[in-house]
Amino acid sequence: MGTIVMNKNDDIIMRLVHYFITECDYSPVVVNGIKDEIWLENNEGPYKIIRINSNHIHNNEQLRIDMYKTFNIMKQIKKQTFSLSMNVLNIFLDVGESVTLKETKNMDNIKLKTLKDLENSSIEKSFPSIKDKMLVNLEGIDLIINVTKDINQKTEKRNKSYERTFKPKKIVVTNILIGICIVMFFLTLLHGKGAITNHALYYFGANFAPAIRENVLNIYRFVTATFLHGSILHLLCNMYALFILGTQVETFLGKKKFTIIYLISAITGSLLSFVFTNSLSVGASGAIFGLMGSLLYFGYHYRLYIGSAIKNQIVPLIILNLFLGFTFSNIDNAAHIGGLVGGYLATMLVGVNEKSTKNEKINACIVLAILWGFLFYVGMYLR
């Protein structure tokens, strides 16, 4: 087609960005206050961050300033993406002859003047498909059209996936769980002739370690206990939390995954309570903490979109509730902690759409099985 002639750096940038986004699933990172730089992120990639810099670096002093700025931006991205460490590929397209690129901790600095410089570089070693997948046979307007089309298709596909995940859905399972808890509360009241008694709670399946140790068939109490509540205030607080958190998790992950996460969280919370508590234990709070753990795992994978909500809402909520659990008596904090861990592992097990890997799911299954076995053994034979 046309005979548009592009700047050399712009040509290289288009080809690199096209490859990293369409072939390696990197996503652009919005960094305020920068110019002539592109930042890409993929937590599962060979490099978590790729920076492409077309600014002219004419001496080592300017390079030092540029590196200082880069490390500060990395700190911001670490906070935004909840990363303790990240390896970075720093690609310089316009570097003076007197500039010396040195090795830096967790950062590979590459000088790339032409595409031929890719040969035997760390880029080619980390991305071996770059030879075959990069657009090298297109020029001018043909290159622009193909790059734009492919990136738009990739973006459209990603946006549809995000829309499926975040769009409001009809909430079913959360409402059923709330309904069961309310029905069980009134049944317990009837059994106790207008009062919530320990006998009534035990009758309907409260978690009670001595009963389970006496007869292992009583393990059904690990589940039934999470549908019972000791007072109207206990019920109302838990149902409000279940409605808020359950609606979010069911929307993000779907009904089937939400049900699995809720039950695994409930059982894990009951198991840790079984180890540390010998009195009657009831309530949905262990499973509710599991929903918080689920949101932590989900939020990590969608940290570029809801990272601020996780940092400013979910994490403080978890810390506050754990603090209250340790501060006041008659709160089964073991169930809360167990549920939190169980919810995180359960979400890793069922997976987040287009985010989780098969290895993560297998690892979660193994860890969860070991954890359940260990807690059950300790609660049965070492208490």
Task: Say which of 18, 234, 301, 336 is annotated catalytic.
Answer: 336
Rounded CA gap, 253 and 358, in Å?
Answer: 17
Say whether 285 is catalytic: yes
CB 127 within 8 A of CB 89: no
Task: Say which of 273, 285, 294, 356 is annotated catalytic.
Answer: 285
Buried b / exposed e over 247-273, threshold 16 CB at 10 Å, is: bbbbbbbbbebbbebbbbbbbbbbbbb
Say whether 231 is catalytic: no
Strand segments (E) across the chain: 27-28, 37-41, 49-53, 88-92, 107-111
CB 333 within 8 A of CB 325: yes
Structure tokens at 216: 């292992």
Nearest to 234 by CA among 259, 262, 210, 201: 201
Of the chain, the end-to-end C-alpha distance in Å amounts to 79
Bridge partners of 41? Answer: 27, 49
Nearest to 311 by CA among 300, 324, 326: 300
Q: Which residues are catalytic?
A: 285, 336
